[in-house]
Amino acid sequence: MPLRRPILILAFGSLVVAGLGLRDWPVDGPRAAAFAGEAFDAYGLVLSVEGPASLTLLPVPRLTLGRVRVASAPAGPALAEDGRLSLDLDPVSLLAGRAAAGGLRLEGARLSRDADWRALLARLAGPARSGDTPPLRRIAVSGARLADGGEARDIDLDIAWPFWSASAEGRASLTWRGVPTRIVLTHLRPADIAQGRSSPFTAEVTWPGGSLAADGRVADAAAGTGLPGLAGQVRFETRALPECLSWIGRDVPLSPLAGAFSVSGRFETAAGSLSWPSLRIGIGPNVLEGAGAVALGPGDAPRLSVQATLAAERLDLAPLVDDLARVLGSEPQDMALAPFTRGDLDLRLSAAQGQVGPVQVQDLAASVLVREAAVEVAVNRARIENGTLKGRMTLSSGADPAVTEIRMQGSLDRVALGSLLSEVGASRWLAGPANGQFVLEASARDSAGLLTHLGGRATLAVEGGTITGLDLADVIHRNGAVAPGALARRNGRTAFERAAVTLRFVDGIGEITEAGLLGPGVGATLHGQVSLPERRLDAKGSLVLRPATDPLRGLLFEISGPWSALTAQTLAPGEGAEPAGRSGEALLPLSLKEPAAVGLPGTARAYVP
């Protein structure tokens, strides 16, 4: 018989066998469910089947069950239900008459939202640790959803652990709270973890607004701890931190103030906490380095606690200045603290150089404390224009969370006022070293009420200064008229020994209680009011020559109007201005002669890196 005929017969027979082997053969549902249930019994799980069952022999024996339900106990809550389950049966175990799954695939199932998935993973690892049951080599989930699908849907998961490799790989994609997300896990050694040893891992999570990547080692968590033991390198970045936190369902303190955010460095986990011995943080244009730690508190809704010590060569605080300008703008802004205090923060911050709007700052040391219903910001040291600034601001809310109480205090010590005016874009009309103190407080629901209820005290003094562009002695000689011509105004100047003003605020109205200027050729006093809610100044004063060669040579004047359009005019005697005593010998209050640093209480927190 020719050789061709046996080959054709063999090929035809192989096709027939392959066709029969690849076909799904219907089998008895209850018997198939009982047989498959033996594979789940090894993991302490209960399988029930309500739909049809079929068996496929090639390429490996596969049992498919419809409308399955997987639970941790016969009458316990379902882990997964209403899905289609395919089991890849282990051929060796099948020949021995035992049901052992080498892999499984679950399609279109509804997963439990409240299930203890960590306990389930521990059950799956138990038989693998003992070696009594062959491990699952592949787990695949497709088209699944979490509960009703409102939180997570379109879940596709594929975890493969080939028998020829010690490493497993997993890939997943899902739509989490409306955001498409992809997860990749590689280099993981399940056998090492099952045996209680650490395993290398590489993980990456990406979504349209950011990414998270980690590379290191993982070990099974110790008894009583919530997180596995992780150590390695991590990088997280997002274009908008508030939106990202809302998406993942977590809150951090001061998150509404953040925009683009990134964190990278060496990390470790232990007993529900995450620590960064080496940390690099990007906040907008700023890059800070240091160390930090994150911990979750007890309870069903644990409160996040963050601690960090960070330093930067250069720090740009322009976004905070913009936020402050928005609060002080014409449109009322909500002052509730709740969005900013959803977590605890203890931050120590230092920078060699800083930019606060247009103002340059050097040698900055600050701290930020956030507790439930309270925020404290302290500038422990900052050098501005050859001087020093110190201050502290405390915000707190009491019985009414919509009402915020604000307390501010601080001091200026020998700040070059002319240079500071130039930095902010104003004319250098006043120059000299400035000293000052302020203690202010208010309680309000919004920014408009904040200005309306402001109270406290502020002082500012300049010694050995100069007024540029105006010769006050010449103004007196001209009976209130300013010398004509730009050149005369440009060359005009008034040197003074001391100038100071004291304001006492009540309900947003600052009363000028004491104000004066004392120079070698002229003296002045001023009194009146400054309205913060109306942004208006109304004041009257007097100018006199020194020494008093002519007691009658002097001027009474008035300054009034909105801050953006102040007007000044002279007054006739008897129109309400008080003449300067002793020909301009207007003495400054003794309180202004104290060092500027005296006003800062000793209880203020201080941190020097």
Helical (H) or strand (E) element with 250: none
Indicate the residue among 106, 141, 160 that finishes a domain.
160
Token pair for residue 99?
A: 């049901």
**239 C-beta neighbours (distance < 10 Å), count:** 13
Q: Indicate if 116 and 207 belong to the same structural domain.
A: no
Which run of H or E residues covers position 264?
A: strand 261-270
Q: Are residues 145 and 209 in the same domain?
A: no
- pLDDT at res. 494: 92
- Domain assignment present for residue 307? The answer is yes
Q: Would 349 be classed as within a structural domain? A: no
Structure tokens at 96: 């021995």
Closest C-alpha to 81, from 9, 145, 158: 145
- Residue 61 sits at φ, ψ, to 5 deg, of -60, 130
If one counts the domains in the chain, the total is: 3
| Range of the structural domain that residue 111 is part of | 21-160
CA distances from 393 to 111, 337, 533, 565, 593 (A): 49, 14, 21, 31, 25
Mark whether 29 and 102 lie in a shared domain. yes
Domain end marker among 283, 316, 349: 316
Note whether residue 374 is domain-resident.
no
Measured between its terminal Cα atoms, the distance across the chain in Å is 97
Q: Report how far residue 263's alpha carbon sits from residue 284's, in angstroms, rounded to the nearest whole number.
A: 12
Residue recorded with tokens 């100044």: 537
β-strand partners of 510? 505, 530
Which residue's structure tokens are 């002082």? 459
Give the model's pLDDT for residue 81: 87
Residue 447 in any domain: the answer is no
| Same-domain check for residues 147 and 41 | yes
Query: 144 with 211, same domain?
Result: no
Torsions phi, psi for 450 (to 5 deg) = -60, -50
Q: Is 265 left (phi over 0), alpha (psi -120 to 50) or beta?
A: left
Count of residues making up the chain: 609
Which residues lie closer than 8 Å to 249 by C-beta, 6 or more apart? 177
Residue from 412, 413, 435, 415 nearest 423 by CA: 415
311 DSSP 8-state letter: E
Token pair in block for residue 402: 């919509």
Phi/psi of residue 4, nearest 5 degrees: -65, -35
Q: Are 452 and 430 in contact (CB under 8 A)?
A: no
Segments of the chain scoring below 70 in pLDDT: 1-25, 28-29, 58-59, 90-101, 116-134, 221-227, 299-301, 323-330, 486-489, 548-553, 573-609
Q: What's residue 551's pLDDT?
A: 57
Beta bridge partners of 369: 346, 376
* Among candidate residues 316, 347, 377, the one where a domain is terminated: 316
Nearest to 383 by CA among 415, 431, 419, 355: 415
Q: Are residues 35 and 108 in the same domain?
A: yes
Note whether 497 and 554 are same-domain residues: yes
Does residue 558 fall inside a structural domain?
A: yes
Same structural domain, 206 and 285: yes
Burial of 27 (0-12, 13-18, 19+ CB in 10 A): middle
My answer on whether 459 and 577 are in the same domain is yes
Residue 28 and residue 150 in one domain: yes
Strands (DSSP E) along 37-151, which ranges? Answer: 46-49, 53-56, 62-71, 78-89, 101-107, 110-111, 138-146
* Domain-located, residue 529: yes
Q: Tell me if 235 is assigned to some domain.
A: yes
Q: Are residue 89 and residue 154 in the same domain, yes or no?
A: yes
Give CA 61 to chain center in angstroms.
53
Residue 422 has φ and ψ, to the nearest 5°, of -65, -40
**Same domain, yes or no: 156 and 202:** no
Quick check: 143 and 154 in contact, CB under 8 A? yes
Q: Is residue 411 in some structural domain? A: no
- Residue 195 DSSP class: T
- Closest by CA to 473, choosing from 528, 550, 418, 417, is 550
pLDDT in tens, 208-244: 989 999 999 998 765 445 567 899 999 999 988 888 8
